[in-house]
Every structure is written in C-alpha cells, then in structure tokens.
C-alpha cells in the first residue's frame, strides 16, 4: 500500500472502436495515477487518444467505442464495475469535467442560474435557496462580478471567457475531488487564458482538487503540470514529473514536439523550424514495438521488436530503447 492513497489509479486502459469489420485500438494499455491536489497533463497531437482516455474514465465514450480496463480506482470506489446509473451519481458530483467549447456544453435554452442550481439539486439534498447561494458564491469565486445578474442571463449573453468561468463554477458546484479539463482554454484569447489558468491553480489549491488537464500546447503544460503523460497513437510514450519530461525529454517524439515550437530569443526569426515528417499510423494496423517507429529519425530494427515497452528510469517512464539518444546525438 502507498503511504498516500492515490486519488485516481488507472491500470491497463484500452479503448476499441468497432465499425464495420475493423476494430481500431485507439487507446492501448494506458496506466497512470493522479494524486490529490496534483495536475496531470495529457499531451500529444490530435488523434493520439488524449480525449478518449479522459472520456473513458467517466464512461462518456461515443457509441461504438468500448472500454477495457484492469483497474480504475477512484479513492474507495472501483469504477470499472459500476453501472451507468452508479457512474452518473459520481459524475458531476465527485468527478467533474470542463470541455473545450463552453458554448456547446452549456444549454442555450436555460439561464446560467438554472443550470448551476440544477446540478447541485440533482446530486445533493439541499434546498433551492441553498443551491442559489452556492452558485452566487462560486461565480464570485471564479471572478465574475455581480453574480445576481449573471445567474439570470443565458449563455449567449456571455463572452467566451465568462462562459468558461461559468463552466468552472458549474464543475465546482458539488465540491468534486477530481476535475477533468479537456483543452478548456484553447478557444480563448491569450490574456484570458492566462487569467483562467491562474484561477484554476488557485481553486485547485483551495479545494485540494486532483486535475487531469488535456492539452496540445506544451507551453501551457509547462506552466500548470506537476505530472506529464505524452501520448502517441493511443499509447503512452513518455511520462513523469513535468520539469523532468519537458526539460529533459527522453523520447524522440517529446523532443521533436518541443523543437517544433518557435521560442523567441532562442529560435532565429524566419529560420526553418523543425517539424515531424509523416503522420500518425492508421489505427487498423497492429502496432508492434514503438508506435513512433515510422516517423522516428533514430529508428533501428530493434525498435520493431515486441519487447519494446514503457520502461522506468526512476519516476520517469520512457517507451524507447535508446532514451535520450536523439538529444545527446545532436549535442555532440
């Protein structure tokens, strides 16, 4: 047993999408855990299985997608065996979620107040009066002035930044222990994004929230993550402490992703940026060995052997037989 009970522990998570005759293995053997008060960032290109990993935790997979998991433990509850009904009681109450686009995840025909209050009434034995008070308190807490006015407004009357603040308040209504955020700031201006990230960090500390944050923006990840998990083609290729993974990337994919980003002061303006040639392999293919093989600049025959798997260097996990070789090679 750990000294500290993990908030969430996921072991051997797989997601299959079946359509027609082919089964696509879109998430393969993913394991991770989240501590109380900690932020785990899941990063990778689009189509790498980040969002499906998060959705599958909550039982929110689209039709046709199926989850297989060895262990999915949320504190004292084993979630993998829960029915949809039992999951529903957990969702929104103890585990909350914030999506990328607040316009499509808020209901346009109800006021902000109705939506905030209903979620609490659904899960907790409180009176409407108490629920309204909590909604007002939380709107103030997420930095919204005159909450009385906002409660009576409809989503379309709010700006993008305000809507996302409402989403955060809504996620906090029932006092969750775990918050799953799927690119919550991608659609926003950089200044608004910076404010919201600060707010999320504050709230996380105040409520001791575990946070799973999905993003493809490595700059943002560097700012908020404690732990980072890099996914490629449905598999974890590198994971560990954020400072370690981002400053000292060991998998060629992580290294190359970091190099693609222009960094003012380091990158020569108008110079050729490095990029990753090729595309993600089709999910119909059986992948043996390293999933990044086709696009890797330092691949060799041994990378395709079945024994290639996620290996630990202390707390830093890497799926590569030559960890760090790409970076070392070019520094010499």
Partner 1 sequence: MSPHTLMLEDVSFGYRKAGLFANKVPPKALDAVSIEVRSGTTTGLVGESGSGKSTIAKLLLGLLQPTGGQVLLDGQPLHMTSRLERAKKIQMVFQDPYSSLNPRASIEQILDLPLRAHRIGNAESRQAAVRKMMDAVGLGKAFSQRYPRELSGGQRQRVAIARALMLQPKIVICDEPTSALDVSVQSQILNLLLDLQREFGLGYLFISHNLAVVQHVSDQITVLQSGKIVEKGSAEAVYFRPQDPYTKQLISATLAPP
- Binding residues for partner 1 (CB under 8 A): 45-46, 160, 189-194, 216-223, 243, 246-247, 256-258, 260-265, 267, 269-270, 272-276, 279
CA 312, 315, 317, 322 dihedral sign is: negative
- Do 300 and 316 meet the contact criterion of CB atoms below 8 Å apart? no
Token pair listed for 274: 């490095």
> CB neighbours of 31 closer than 8 A, spacing ≥ 6?
10, 11, 12, 13, 236
Return the DSSP state at 62. P
Minimal CA–CA distance to 210: which of 178, 187, 242, 183? Answer: 178
- Cβ neighbours for 11, distance < 8 A, ≥ 6 positions apart: 31, 69, 70, 71, 72
Based on CB atoms, which residue is closest to partner 1, 8 or 43?
43
Task: Collect contacts of 81-84 with beta carbons under 8 A, ≥24 apart.
Answer: 84/59
The two tokens of residue 195 are 């404010």
Write phi, then psi, for 30 (nearest 5 degrees). -100, 130
Place of tokens 């997979």: 61
Pairing label, strands 39-43, 227-232: parallel
Please give the structure tokens belonging to residue 160: 């993008």
Cα(251)–Cα(238) distance, integer angstroms: 6
Closest CA to 119 of 141, 143, 155, 95: 95
């Amino acid at each position: 047993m750990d000294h500290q009970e993990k908030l969430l522990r996921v072991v051997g998570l797989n997601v299959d999408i079946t359509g027609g005759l082919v089964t696509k293995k879109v998430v393969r053997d993913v394991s991770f855990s989240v501590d109380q008060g900690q932020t785990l960032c899941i990063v990778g290109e689009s189509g790498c299985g980040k969002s499906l990993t998060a959705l599958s935790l909550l039982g929110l997979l689209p039709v046709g997608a199926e989850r297989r998991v060895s262990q999915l433990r949320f504190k004292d509850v084993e979630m993998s065996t829960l029915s949809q009904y039992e999951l529903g009681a957990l969702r929104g109450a103890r585990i909350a979620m914030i999506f990328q686009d607040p316009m499509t995840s808020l209901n346009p025909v109800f006021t902000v107040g109705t939506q905030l209050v209903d979620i609490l009434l659904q899960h907790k034995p409180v009176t409407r009066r108490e629920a309204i008070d909590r909604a007002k308190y939380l709107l103030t807490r997420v930095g919204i002035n005159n909450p009385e006015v906002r409660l009576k407004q409809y989503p379309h009357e709010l700006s993008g930044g305000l809507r996302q603040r409402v989403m955060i308040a809504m996620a906090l209504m029932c006092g969750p222990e775990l918050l799953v955020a799927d690119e919550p700031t991608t659609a926003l201006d950089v200044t608004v994004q910076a404010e919201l990230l600060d707010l999320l960090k504050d709230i996380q500390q105040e409520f001791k929230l575990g946070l799973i944050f999905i993003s493809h923006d490595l700059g943002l990840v560097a700012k908020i993550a404690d732990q980072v998990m890099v996914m490629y083609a449905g598999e974890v290729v590198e994971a560990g402490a954020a400072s370690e993974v981002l400053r000292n990337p060991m998998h060629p994919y992580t290294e190359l992703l970091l190099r693609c980003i222009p960094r003012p002061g380091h990158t020569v303006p108008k110079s050729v940026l490095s990029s990753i040639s090729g595309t993600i392999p089709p999910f119909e293919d059986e992948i043996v060995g390293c999933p990044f093989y086709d696009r890797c600049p330092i691949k060799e025959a041994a990378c395709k052997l079945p024994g290639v798997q996620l290996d630990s260097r202390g707390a830093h996990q890497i799926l590569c037989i030559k960890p760090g070789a790409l970076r070392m090679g070019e520094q010499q």
